[in-house]
Amino acid sequence: MAATTTLEEPTRRDFLYIATAAVGIVGAGAAVWPLISQMSPDASTLAAGSVEVDISGIAVGQILTVKWRGKPIFVSHRTPEEIAAVRAVPMNELKDPATDQSRVEKPEWLVVIGICTHLGCVPLGNEGPYHGFFCPCHGSVYDPSGRIRQGPAPANLVVPPYKFVSDAKISIG
Amino acid sequence: MSGESTYVPKNAVAKWFESRLPVLGLAHSSFVVFPNPRNLNYWWTFGGILAFLLVSQIITGVVLAMHYTPESTLAFDSVERIMRDVNFGWLMRYWHANGASMFFIGLYVHILRGMYYGSYKAPREVLWLLGFIIYLLSMATAFMGYVLPWGQMSFWGATVITSLFSAIPVVGDAITTWLWGGYSVDNATLNRFFALHYLLPFMIVGVVGLHIWALHVPGSNNPIGIEPKSAKDTLPFHPYFTVKDGFALTLFLIFYAWFVFYIPNYLGHADNYIEANPLVTPPHIVPEWYYLPFYAILRSVPSKLGGFLAMFGAVLIVAVLPWLDSSKVKSAVYRPLFRIFFWIFVVDAVLLGYIGSQPPEGGAVIAGRLLTAYYFIHFLVILPLLSRFEPTRPLPASISDAVLGDSAKAEPALASH
Ligand code: HEM
Ligand code: FES
């Protein structure tokens, strides 16, 4: 029994022990990362790029809903009164301060992702005290600039990347 | 307290087998001769009922999976096909869908039984924690199961609940996208939920095994909350408790069958018979009844992150009960104040459930906030104070003293129980 305690043997075993542990940890990491990463959006989802929308048919005061990346996008043709009203709001009245100018390309067109920034329901257009958007799920109220004004949502409706291809067409994404 | 293995194999085959894998002896000592306190009441039959329901969910679930298609354009139709075309498909689906509700009725009774009789206290803390893990896994399983029929409630319930994670600062949105496997709840989400809905019940089975193991170390608690002291205090599992559990199970199954055959959609939502539409949210979305108290707590806090923390906190606080209530007396029978506060807590939780089912407007919001505050006060203030200052009633000398009445020391008040 006592004869097994020599210096050389433990050194050799120590080496194997540390080498095994090191390779094991690297191997486990290399296996875990793909296992986690596979759950992220796949290549075809990422590639589901842009949509073009013809906006010539949207009358003043009307909101069109289109689908982009599985989400509803609101394209709102705002009235002059709405534009004037949202531009007159002082910044200190806003929970998530942003000027209307910073949220639109052209004053009469508001383009936002139609997903409530609270827990993801689709708000109703031309509804609520500001005649902007109202979310029926937990009562968040947005103005015609898509800015959060009341209720539990923490942030303004998100503006997706888009550009005007022509006066009658926008490209989202 | 574990039963001594008195098992003697009766025939040559059993003997041959037993000497190679002593599983018959294990079953014998765990479910035949295992000594249970002789005074267990019907609230103790829900463990067996839950075990039965778990097996029943797995059997009906595997059958449904043989006919179900986890693909977002086909899922809804495949469930309708199960309802209309598959032989007895309607029965399998109603059995499974209502089985989930029955499972939660069983869980809530079982958990409240533990709270009333102090079953979470030493030496049963690990048993309590394992039960809590079963509860968490069951909530996750039922949540993902409810997404599978891909109706409007499936879709929007999944959206709202997974969006909760976006409340986490900095990484929230990345986590939500990762959970979805896309930019919204979609086919990738449905697919993974199906895989996990299939997997988790088997993990529950594993934890139930540990739960029973942890139970059989100290043995069952009982209505008077003092541990058995002699053989006179206990009775063997079979036939005394097999018949009691079997009788209660049969009554429970009649209740269950009444739902399945007469009011199969009573606990469901009509909106879930409309196929999922990512562009239109139903005007009033509510989760399944068993999540309603927590949903009410979520909505009562007027901040996204705050609501998230309060909701998960309300669930998790149940786990640390053994350390919030340090009273040495287990059973509420001998704790006059605890008993009153227990029932106030039950009423609070039920009212929270009602508030969770109502639109968040006017009085409902204020009531929700008060009830939410009380929920936490019960755990964080009342229980710690009670366990320090409550005058408890004298405990009987033993279980047999208390229930057989063969001693002058028998506890008279017990007659009312
Ligand atoms: C603790 C155990 C389980 C619970 C609590 C549970 C719960 C649920 C719930 C609430 C639903 C939605 C029912 C509806 O409204 O239609 C569901 C559906 C489903 N479950 Fe489970 N389940 C369990 C175990 C299983 C297992 C083991 C499988 C095996 C594959 C399974 C397969 C399915 C399938 C295929 C559906 C979709 C068909 C349908 O919606 O009826 N379940 N489950
Ligand atoms: S999801 Fe819109 S208010 Fe909660």
CATH number at residue B119: 1.20.810.10
Q: Do B162 and B56 reside in the same domain of the chain?
A: yes
Label residue B417 by pLDDT band (50, 70, 90).
very low
Residue A23's identity, in one-letter code, is V
| B27 Cβ contact partners less than 8 Å away, ≥ 6 residues apart | none
B416 domain residue, yes or no: no
- Domain membership flag for residue B78: yes
Amino acid at B38: R
B183 and B322 housed in the same domain: no
Q: What percent of chain B has pLDDT over 90?
A: 90
Q: Which residues of B touch A136 (CB under 8 A)?
A: 281, 283-284
Residue B70's pLDDT is: 97
Q: Domain range holding B374?
A: 286-390
Is B273 in the same domain as B291?
no
Q: Is A104 in the pocket of ligand 2 (CB under 6 A)?
A: no
Of B414 and B367, the one with more pLDDT: B367
Give pLDDT, residue B416: 40
pLDDT tens digits, B256-277: 999 999 999 999 999 999 999 9
* B96, B209: one domain: yes
Predicted complex ipTM:
0.82
- Residues B280 and B366 occupy one common structural domain: no
Calculate the alpha carbon distances from B376 to B297, B306, B351 in Å: 10, 14, 14
Please tell me the predicted confidence (pLDDT) of residue A7.
57
Do the domain assignments include residue B12?
no
Do B188 and A41 make contact, defined as CB atoms within 8 angstroms?
yes
Contact A35/B at CB under 8 A:
no
The answer to whether the CB atoms of A120 and B188 lie below 8 A apart is no
Closest ligand by atom to B146 CA: 1
pLDDT of residue A3: 54
Which of B243, B259, B285 lies at the terminal end of a domain, its last residue? B285
In which band, very low, low, confident or very high, does the pLDDT at B1 lie, cut at 50, 70 and 90?
Answer: very low
pTM, entire model: 0.90
Amino acid B198: pLDDT = 98
Using alpha carbons, select from A17, A151, A112 the residue that is nearest to residue B361.
A151
Query: Which domains does chain A carry?
Result: 50-172 (2.102.10.10)
Q: Do B261 and B332 fall into the same domain?
A: no
- Interval B3-36: pLDDT, tens: 456 789 989 999 999 999 999 999 999 999 999 9
Residue B407 counted as domain residue = no
User: Which tens digit of pLDDT belongs to each residue from B183-236?
Assistant: 899 999 999 999 999 999 999 999 999 999 999 999 999 999 999 999 999 999
Tell me how far the alpha carbon of residue B22 lies from the centroid of ligand 2, in angstroms.
Answer: 57
- The chain-wide mean pLDDT, for chain B, equals 94
* Residue B244 sits in the same domain as residue B315: no
Mean pLDDT calculated for residue range B376-382: 98
Query: Distance (Å) from the C-alpha of residue A18 to the closest C-alpha of chain B?
Result: 34
pLDDT value of position A45: 81
Same domain? B351 vs B271 = no
The predicted structure's pLDDT at residue A138: 85
Is residue B398 part of the annotated active site? The answer reads: no
- Is residue B125 part of the annotated active site? The answer reads no
DSSP A106: B
Residues in chain B within 8 Å Cβ distance of A121: 156, 159-160, 281, 285
pLDDT (0 to 100) of residue B6:
78
By C-alpha distance, which of A171, A152, A149, A153 is closest to A162? A171
The B residues from 76 to 95 touching A (CB cutoff 8 Å) are none
What single string gives the DSSP state of each residue in A58-104? --TT-EEEEEETTEEEEEEE--HHHHHHHHSS-GGG-SS---SGGG-
Cβ contact A120–B159 (<8 Å): yes
pLDDT in tens, B127-156: 999 999 999 999 999 999 999 999 999 999
Residues B261 and B370 in one domain: no
Q: With a 6 A CB cut-off, is A114 part of the ligand 2 pocket?
A: no
The amino acid at residue B301 is V
Angle at B194 between CA B188 and CA B200, to 5 degrees: 130
> How many angstroms separate the CA atoms of B183 and B173, rounded?
10
| Same structural domain, B267 and B326 | no
Is B269 annotated as contributing to ligand binding?
no
B195 within a domain of the structure (yes/no): yes
pLDDT at res. A8: 62
- Counting ligand 1 atoms within 8 A of each CB, the residue from B148, B190, B207, B273 with the most, and so the one to mutate, is B148
Region A114-123: what's the mean pLDDT? 94
